[in-house]
Amino acid sequence: MAGIIQTSGLQGWLDTIFGTVWTYFVLGLFFAAVLAAVLIRSLQPGILSRRKNAEKQGLLHKGLSPGQETQLFETLQKEPAVSKTVLLAAAGLDCLPVTVPIRLALLSCRSKNSCLLIDLDTKRDAVWKAFGKPSSNGSSPVPAESGLENLSLVPAHYFDQTRQMNLAPLLRQVKNQYKLILLNAPYLDGHPDRKMIAASADYAVLFAKEDSQLRRLMHLCESQGCKVLGCYKLLKSSAEDHFPNRDAAAASATQTVFERTGQRQ
């Protein structure tokens, strides 16, 4: 009789425990945690492989000095396409100084290659200001003259007139007119039109400060059929970090134009 009572009490206790809402909630959390762990482990090799592949292929670099910009330009020149559209993509304004696309454009000028520099930095419009151009009401023709031979510009303020940065129509119009088209996208990582922008380029060079930022940018470009030519992980102590705001960025880039060409004094 006592054994029956004991068994009955145990059964009642089990029914009480497993019959509560909180029990099912805890069990649900447990299985969700297990599933999340399995997914993370399955995705981790792919995430790590992007960085390992970048290192293996010599794509990952630390910082970018003027000398390395020359090497980067030579790398762009080696690609077989007659006309190349190259995306300079970054995780933020502090990762890609505006002087980098300008220096590459000037190198293209000096090599007698026609170049079009398209600025997607609508927050600063620094490329336009760097070449001594006044503020525009948007009526100027696109592409616009830079004042230098073999170099044309599409200023960032041009895109203030459009709802989306759909570059396809513009690139179809100018593709055969230039040997090198540079897209300056210093905050592509969080840009709402990042997929359209990445899909518009043949090649990409990436700039970031964190591995996670590079991984996201690499995945974005690869998923849109854009070949990554190089990844630059900038040092936080870079001197270019002193030029984050709108006016200082333009001033720094303008000085670069003055220093790199004898056509402007």
Q: What total number of domains does the chain contain?
A: 2
On whether both 42 and 63 belong to a single domain, the answer is: no
Same domain, 147 and 16: no
Query: Are 254 and 164 in a shared domain?
Result: yes
Q: Are 76 and 105 in contact (CB under 8 A)?
A: no
The pairing of strands 180-185 and 115-119 is parallel
Q: In which domain, by residue range, is 185 found?
A: 59-260
Contact partners, residue 43, CB within 8 Å, separation at least 6: none
Q: What is the pLDDT of residue 116?
A: 96
Q: What is the C-alpha to C-alpha distance for residues 66 and 63, in angstroms, rounded to an integer?
A: 10
Amino acid, res. 66: P
Give yes or no: residues 20 and 105 share one domain: no
The answer to whether residue 265 sits within a structural domain is no
> Terminal CA-to-CA distance of the chain, rounded, Å?
108
Asked if 237 and 121 sit in the same domain, the reply is yes
What is the domain-level CATH number for residue 168?
A: 3.40.50.300
Q: Is the pTM of this model over 0.75?
A: no
Within this chain, do residues 16 and 83 fall inside the same structural domain, yes or no? no
Q: Both 42 and 78 in a single domain?
A: no
pLDDT, one tens digit for every residue, the chain (265 residues): 444 445 555 555 555 555 565 566 666 777 777 776 655 555 544 444 555 554 444 456 666 666 678 888 888 888 887 889 999 999 998 899 899 999 999 999 888 889 999 999 998 899 998 887 665 554 566 899 888 989 999 999 888 776 678 898 889 989 889 999 999 999 999 899 999 999 999 999 999 998 899 999 999 999 999 999 989 987 654 444 444 455 555 555 555 565 555 544 3
Are 19 and 100 within one domain?
no
